[in-house]
Amino acid sequence: FTKRTLLNKKIVVTAGPTIEKIDPVRYITNFSSGKMGYAIAIEAKKRGADVILISGPTNLDKPDGIKVINVNTTIEMLKAIEEYFDEIDVLIKAAAPLDYRPEVVSDKKIKKQDGSLNIKLVRNPDILAYFGKLKKKQILVGFAAETNDVIENAIKKIRNKNLDFIVANDVTVKNAGFRSNTNIATIIDNKGNVNDYPQMSKEELAKIILDRVEELLS
């Protein structure tokens, strides 16, 4: 039995990777499975929140009772959040949106050619930074997928993206980060408090993250 501590709260959770097409048969993406974001959405729903899950392509089942909006690209993810941003209390960005997309999407399959092939990538918008600028009452929670200097990089992201707190995970560690059922996180808030958590299931980490959100809402 879960106490309905998020009743009347509207929460957008993003999950999974984004994908960016190169041509009709190829795309670029990353290793995100969506498990972390789906676990947060499911726990928020159990606590009574009105949850909207904005998901990149994953192999996960649609969770019961949660409105799911499926997107492919980073720009589509931004636009989907924009539909709801004014009316929500919390945005949790567990997704791993691609920072770059091919400058040109070929409308025909690119043929093999001699020598190497160059594909120019251009920057995608930083979704969290965009909403960090628009933020009024909303609580903004980011993730930081790092391979080095985890804490320093996470602190920079809190500032640049105007976040309330960030969940940093070192994606080079076994049983943490992408794809695994468990994660190992450090939560850093915008006052500089740092809390390290041991390895735990993504469901358990979702509870800790939502406990922190509830503290900020109260």
Q: Which residues are catalytic?
A: 30
For ligand PMT, the closer CB: 49 or 92: 92
| Main-chain dihedrals φ then ψ at residue 128, nearest 5 degrees | -65, -40
DSSP string, 175-202: TSSSS-SEE-EEEEETT--EEE--SEEH
Binding site annotation covers 149? no
The residue assigned the tokens 């998901």 is 55
Question: CB 85 → ligand PMT: shortest distance, Å?
Answer: 13
Exposure on the CB side of residue 23, measured as CA atoms within 13 A: 9
- 28 is annotated as contributing to ligand binding: no
Shortest reach from residue 56's CB to ligand PMT, in Å:
9
Ligand-binding annotation for 161, yes or no, is yes
Q: Is 131 marked as binding a ligand? A: no
C-alpha distances in angstroms, 153 versus 28, 147, 160? Answer: 24, 10, 11
Nearer to ligand PMT, 22 or 168 (CB): 168
Smallest gap, in angstroms, from Cβ of residue 123 to ligand PMT? 8
CB 159 within 8 A of CB 180: no
Q: Given the rule CB under 6 A, which residues bind ligand PMT?
A: 16, 32-36, 74, 93-97, 99, 124, 126-128, 142-145, 157, 169, 171, 177-179
Q: Report the residue number, 6 or 209, with the smaller CB distance to ligand PMT.
A: 209
Distance from C-alpha of 12 to C-alpha of 35, rounded to nearest angstrom: 16
109 assigned ligand-binding residue: yes
Residues 6+ apart with CB under 8 A from 206: 36, 39, 40, 42, 43, 44
> For ligand PMT, which is the closer residue by CB, 48 or 130?
130
Which amino acid, 50?
D
Q: Tell me how far, at minimum, the Cβ of 203 lies from ligand PMT, in Å.
A: 11
**19: Cβ–Cβ under 8 A, 6 or more apart, which residues?**
27, 28, 29, 56, 57, 72, 73, 98
Minimum gap (Å) between residue 138 Cβ and ligand PMT: 14
Of 48 and 69, which has the nearer Cβ to ligand PMT? 69
Do residues 31 and 18 lie in contact, with contact meaning Cβ atoms separated by under 8 Å? no
Is position 93 annotated in a ligand binding site? no
* Numbered residues of the known binding site: 99, 109, 125-128, 143, 157, 161
